[in-house]
Structure 1
Amino acid sequence: MTVFIPFFTGLIAAIVGVLPPGLINMTVAKVRLTDGIKRALIFVSGALLVIAVQTYVSVVFARYISQHDEVVATLRTIGLVVFGVLTLYFFFWAKKPTLEGSDRIQLKSKRSRFFMGMLISALNLLPIPYYVVISVTLASYGYFDFSLAQELSLVAGVTSGSFLVFYLYIVFISHLKSKTDWVLRYMNRIIGAITGLVALLTLWNLLR
């Protein structure tokens, strides 16, 4: 079984999960503006280390869950509901994301950007259940067998996708407010379309 499917699944899942403005990427943007690209990349490296560990922990949980068919069936149903609700939320109720939150983030020490990235990333525990669902879903469809190579491939995909989003924030932060407002304007619909597609695929597999 190829390792490319877990990699690209992790890549896309990370982009969808990290792209909306949140504490981590807003802090990345703030570090870029106050301390420059080098320190921002140091901050990102600390955040990515924690993200990689969280992803692997998620895979370990998913490996156990996948050995119990009744749990897998339940998670499929829960996943359908979750992705369906997320689709409705992003299409109809979510507010347009902005970058104004970065102005309120206070950065005190400049000496420990790496550990600061680790700390802020560690405070966010949502990636663990998120990647558990991703791993179990892949396994239930026969695209993930929890071999070491595939586990590392998924972790590499998630880490790469997270880095890509963080790097885009670093590079384009000074232009986002004036030149790429249309991206923020349509971001909710883009994410809603992706979660809607996942919900439809999940429903189709449940009915099959």
Structure 2
Amino acid sequence: MIFTALLIGIITTILGALPPGASNLAVIKTSLNESQHESLKISYGAGLGEVLLAFIAFSSGMVVHDFFEMNLWVQYLVATILAMAGLYFILKKKDYPKRKRQKSSKYLLGFTLSIINPPVLVYWILVFSLLGKWLSSTASDSTLWLALFLSGVFIGKVATLYGYSRFGSHIQKKKSSSESNINRYIGVTLIILACMQVIKLTFI
């Protein structure tokens, strides 16, 4: 029964990672403009970031939740950063083909996009609160349970982003979307996430 933790980790992560987000669209863009191999690097980095968020939620979820509740400026700051990043992508002009691009770490990009996402942290706090009774029944194997659960989190995140990567490759084969269109999709998604964050803070 202890291996149920691995399955629960995979399922809960896939459910949380399926909605389009910054890392999902970054994977599509990289798969479209570079290669699926490069987009997988983003997936691995995002997987590690998701594991970190899940571990923080498990170890000090209520402390983190109370911190965000008492320091709303942090959430507004994150919303502002998301909105500015969205505007950047929308207004970004297409790079010239002959221009040499500076290589950046795809692992770090995926990790950063994953951890700078307070709603995901709140999601994991909610997940662990719902799993409270089941967690108490596995207290004797808590270390093994957590290791398997976090392994499931990593697998679920990478698997979901791999699906988005395959979708990016499909787009590339059909040549139906340009780089500027993908940039707009990323920009609009980031702005929508920022607006949702502000609405949540203001009215909920």
What percentage of residue pairs aligned between the two structures are identical? 7
Q: Which residue of 2 aligns with 1:37?
A: none
CA distance in 1, matches of 2:186, 2:114: 23
Write the deviation string for residues 29-71 of structure 1: whole angstroms up to 9, x where unpaired. 4554xxxxxxx35x54455344323321232123233142xx4
**Structure 2: runs of 5 or more not aligned:** 1-7, 136-145
| Change in CA separation of 1:187 and 1:106 when aligned onto 2, cut-off 3 Å | closer
Q: Which residue of 1 aligns with 2:158?
A: 159
CA distance in 1, matches of 2:150, 2:182: 32
Q: Which residue of 1 aligns with 2:14?
A: 7
Return the letter of the residue paired with 1:7. I
Task: Write the mapping of 1:56-135 to structure 2, written as runs, cut at 5 A.
Answer: 56-68=51-63, 71-76=64-69, 77-78=72-73, 80-86=75-81, 88-89=83-84, 95-97=90-92, 100=95, 104-105=100-101, 120-124=105-109, 125-127=111-113, 129-130=115-116, 133-135=118-120
8 A Cα contact 1:30 1:105, kept in partner: no
Return the letter of the residue paired with 1:72. H
Aligned length: 176
Return the letter of the residue paired with 2:47. A
Write the deviation string for residues 95-142 of structure 1: whole angstroms up to 9, x where unpaired. 4356638874589xxxxxxxxxxx9433334145325x34431255x3
CA distance in 1, matches of 2:86, 2:44: 33
- Look up the SS of the partner of 1:100 in the other structure: coil
Q: Which residue of 2 aligns with 1:53?
A: 48
CA distance in 2, matches of 1:66, 1:200: 23
TM-score (norm 2): 0.58
Quick one: which of 3, 19, 23 aligns to 1:18?
Answer: 23
**Structure 1: runs of 5 or more not aligned:** 33-39, 108-118
Deviation at 1:81, TM superposition (A): 0.6
| Change in CA separation of 1:7 and 1:19 when aligned onto 2, cut-off 3 Å | closer
CA distance in 2, matches of 1:50, 1:139: 18
CA distance in 1, matches of 2:81, 2:39: 27
Q: Which residue of 1 aligns with 2:123?
A: 138
Q: Which residue of 2 aligns with 1:169?
A: 168
8 A Cα contact 2:42 2:106, kept in partner: yes
| Change in CA separation of 1:84 and 1:31 when aligned onto 2, cut-off 3 Å | closer
Q: Which residue of 2 aligns with 1:112?
A: none
Write the deviation string for residues 149-189 of structure 1: whole angstroms up to 9, x where unpaired. 875665455324422332233222362555x8555445423
TM-score (norm 1): 0.57
